[in-house]
Amino acid sequence: MVVSGIALATHFMTWIESLYLTNVAASTTLVSTYPIFTLAMGKLIGEKVGKRSILGTLVAFLGIVLITVPEFYVSMKALIGDLLALVGSMSGAVYFLVGRFIRVKVSLAMYTVPVYSVSALTTLFVGLILHSRFWPYPLYTWLYILMIVLGPMLLGHTLLNYSLRYSRAITITTSTLGEPIVASLLAYIIFHQVPRALTVVGIVMTLLGIYMVISEETRMQNDLSED
């Protein structure tokens, strides 16, 4: 649970920081590559991986390259943001994999309360080291913080952790795949962020590769259920 909490804190800290450095479309796509890293980590612990999943991983990796490599020639700041989003994805994969092992043994509350607490304390510790400002905040900032706590955290992550008891981690992580599309549209409407053409191609390829992984995993699970 400590490892899971630290991984969750790392996921949030690196991803949120990436949004200050690169565009929303690239950041949310890269951080949503959980299934790729979940698949790779699952392979290391002996889980079966199909050929279509391997091909999908390669396609998604090519998409990641198309998103990140041009940043070498455009903006080092944006490149760092892309890499932070990838770190957020990898740490998120660790968080979900560990959660999968623990949730089959303990209740939702016994898992989420310690993990969220460790995550909060880890974030606070890093914030103190970096001399981050914790006070004061204007009222509208507290409103946004409350919305984040009630929505993505308590509702979103808690539902994902609930599901970990009944499904593999790679299946759970796929539920976040709509995030890059919706977030990119909102970024265009609110912030007028228009991603570069190559970034759009990379996003499409990344999501396509992840879809290939998902479809293969779904087929394999159905086959196991029938057996």
pLDDT of amino acid 196? 80
- Nearest partner of 86 among 102, 71, 103, judged by Cα: 71
Which burial class, exposed, middle or buried, applies to 33 when counting CB atoms under 10 A from its CB (0-12, 13-18, 19+)? buried
Stated pTM of the model: 0.82
Distance CA 7, CA 157 (A): 13
Phi first, then psi, for residue 155 (nearest 5°) are -85, -55
Provide the percentage of residues in the chain whose pLDDT is more than 70. Answer: 88
Report whether pLDDT(137) > 80. Answer: yes
Q: Are 180 and 25 in contact (CB under 8 A)?
A: yes
Backbone phi, then psi, for 157, in 5-degree steps?
-70, -35
Q: What is the pLDDT of residues 22-44, one digit of tens each?
A: 988 889 888 988 877 877 777 77
pLDDT digits (tens, 9 = 90+) for 70-119: 766 678 888 899 999 999 999 999 998 899 889 989 999 999 999 999 99
